[in-house]
């Protein structure tokens, strides 16, 4: 019987103290007289209790025995109710410690969102509404079409409406040749790409629990493991267990790939390629490869002199395959810089079939950033394997729900149809050039103004 794909989320609260986004300061010199005044005015204890309850924090920040004398900052959501209702008595500000979480790309807000998603597996809700800018660098300059969000017949993504998020890895025949395709289907267009040097135990376990895949360096594997894709170089082919069905080979030439493919008969061989602006090489390789895994640095940039961001390099790779008329024959996996649930559909819209996540998994495990992730890998504290696995399962559950939300809002019934649908997205830079430049002229950037 058909069973809808489901990821079982379970509470996995933070195991390590993390700075809360908001800092709550109660000015005792104004707070104490306010309380004394309340005490004096109250005719009886129930009236006093009513007065105190009339200005509570619904999140329990003032819920300790001594109330406002010792606010529980960790619970503050920044709704500013207490500030508005008691001007001058309470200040709610951004915690400077919070600002230090993450690095220049994995910004504190992204890190805190992943923490929340990993702790409960739910879609994060920003109760006080969005107060930030509407465009920014990278993925923040790309907006997706939500035109179907108000479709009256929308039946709810968890109801009768079914949205398929199944994708395939491997090479497909586009004309019938009597042979079955050698492909592997997974239920979510996300795989783990374990950074080298990280203990992959919980990542492998999470992949197993969700039926997804984890790419792990061969040197970090001991024998055959379920839901794992060993990552190897041509020199390591002899060490790969024959039980693996999918293998990822690090290649930098078509010949290198062909050699690996010949040495691994019957296997799905993914070509792991470093994104460096060589779109022609990708198109050449795609004529032979079962699948290509295009890898960027941990901040989503190519490793070249003039690096493009993952958005541009994915569009270029996708278009190179379309021009070569082989786009439907193989799957394109793209990774590096995936730091939020929305980055998954955005990368797919740019042309990826599947997205790989790396540092985001470590953030879910409450890693510690040691500077920029592109230079020094974040480090992990010691934790229980069960907790770590559940955190990653929760992260996937939350991202799966958000993928369904965005697919439903775009009116997509199948994630495969989202691939390369650039017409369903808008880019801030294009809008500036096409819409505003003819009216207001070129935008003056801060540097240009300084130069003047």
12 contributes a contact to ligand SF4 by CB under 6 A: no
31 contributes a contact to ligand SF4 by CB under 6 A: no
Instruction: Choose, by CB under 6 A, the member of 19, 34, 59, 164 that binds ligand SF4.
Output: 59
Instruction: Choose, by CB under 6 A, the member of 26, 92, 269, 349 that binds ligand SF4.
Output: 92
CB of 91 to ligand SF4, least distance (A): 10
CB of 85 to ligand SF4, least distance (A): 8
126-143 residues labelled b (16+ CB within 10 A) or e (exposed): eeeeeeeeeeeebbebbb
Q: What tokens were used for 115? A: 């923490």
Beta-strand pair 354-357/331-335: parallel
| CA 393 – CA 10 distance, rounded (Å) | 9
Closer to ligand SF4 at the Cβ: 28 or 444? 28
Token pair 């920044």: residue: 78
Instruction: Choose, by CB under 6 A, the member of 9, 12, 24, 271 that binds ligand SF4.
Output: 24
Closer to ligand SF4 at the Cβ: 59 or 427? 59
Closer to ligand SF4 at the Cβ: 24 or 240? 24
CB of 68 to ligand SF4, least distance (A): 10
User: Which segment (71-79, 114-122, 297-305, 361-369) binds ligand SF4 by CB under 6 A?
Assistant: 71-79
Closer to ligand SF4 at the Cβ: 86 or 276? 86
Spacing of C-alpha 387 from chain mean position: 20
89 contributes a contact to ligand SF4 by CB under 6 A: no
77 contributes a contact to ligand SF4 by CB under 6 A: yes
Torsional class of 138: left (φ above 0), alpha (ψ -120 to 50), beta (otherwise)? left
Cβ neighbours, 10 Å, residue 199: 12
What secondary structure does DSSP assign to 25-45, as a single string? Answer: EE-HHHHHHHHHHHHHH-SSH
57 contributes a contact to ligand SF4 by CB under 6 A: yes
Residue 356 burial (C-beta neighbours within 10 Å; 0-12, 13-18, 19+): buried
Closer to ligand SF4 at the Cβ: 23 or 402? 23
Closer to ligand SF4 at the Cβ: 80 or 440? 80
Angle formed at CA 403 by CA 308 and CA 317, multiple of 5 degrees: 30
| CA 24 – CA 35 distance, rounded (Å) | 18
> Which residues of the chain form contacts with ligand SF4 (CB under 6 A)?
22, 24, 57, 59, 61, 76-82, 92
């Amino acid at each position: 019987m058909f069973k809808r794909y489901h990821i079982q989320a379970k509470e996995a609260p933070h195991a390590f103290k993390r700075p809360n986004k908001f800092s709550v300061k109660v000015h005792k010199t104004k707070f104490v007289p306010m309380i004394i005044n309340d005490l004096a005015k109250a005719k009886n204890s129930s009236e006093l209790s009513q007065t105190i309850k009339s200005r509570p924090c619904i999140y329990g920040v003032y819920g300790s025995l001594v109330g406002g004398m010792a606010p529980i900052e960790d619970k503050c959501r920044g709704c500013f109710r207490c500030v508005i209702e008691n001007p001058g008595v309470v200040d709610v500000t951004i915690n400077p410690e919070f600002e230090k979480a993450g690095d220049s790309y994995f910004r504190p807000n992204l890190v805190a969102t992943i923490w929340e998603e990993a702790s409960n597996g739910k879609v994060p809700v920003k109760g006080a509404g969005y107060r930030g800018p509407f465009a920014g660098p990278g993925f923040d300059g790309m907006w997706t079409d939500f035109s179907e969000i108000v479709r009256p017949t929308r039946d709810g993504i968890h109801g009768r409406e079914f949205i398929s998020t199944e994708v395939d890895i491997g090479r497909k025949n586009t004309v019938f040749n009597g042979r079955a395709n050698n492909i592997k289907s997974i239920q979510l267009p996300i795989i783990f790409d374990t950074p080298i040097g990280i203990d992959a135990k919980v990542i492998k376990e999470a992949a197993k629990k969700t039926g997804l895949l984890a790419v792990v360096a061969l040197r970090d594997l001991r024998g055959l493991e379920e839901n794992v894709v060993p990552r190897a170089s041509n020199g390591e082919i002899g060490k790969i267990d024959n039980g693996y069905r999918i293998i990822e080979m690090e290649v930098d030439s078509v010949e290198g790939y062909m050699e690996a493919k010949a040495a691994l008969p019957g296997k799905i061989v993914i070509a792991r390629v470093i994104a460096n602006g060589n779109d022609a090489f990708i198109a050449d390789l795609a004529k032979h490869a079962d699948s290509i895994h295009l890898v960027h640095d941990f901040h989503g940039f190519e490793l070249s002199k003039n690096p493009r961001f993952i958005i541009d390099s994915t569009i270029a790779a996708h278009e190179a395959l379309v021009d070569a008329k082989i786009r439907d024959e193989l799957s394109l996996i793209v990774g590096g810089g995936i730091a939020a649930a929305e980055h998954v559909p955005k990368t797919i819209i740019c042309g990826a079939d599947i997205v790989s996540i790396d540092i985001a998994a470590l953030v879910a495990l409450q890693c510690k950033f040691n500077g920029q992730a592109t230079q020094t890998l974040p480090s992990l504290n010691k934790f229980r394997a069960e907790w770590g696995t559940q955190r990653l399962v929760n992260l996937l559950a939350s991202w799966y729900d958000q993928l369904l939300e965005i697919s439903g809002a775009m009116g997509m019934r199948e994630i495969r149809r989202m691939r390369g649908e650039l017409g369903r997205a808008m880019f801030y830079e294009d809008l500036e050039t096409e819409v505003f430049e003819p009216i207001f002229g070129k935008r003056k950037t801060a540097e240009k103004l300084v130069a003047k």
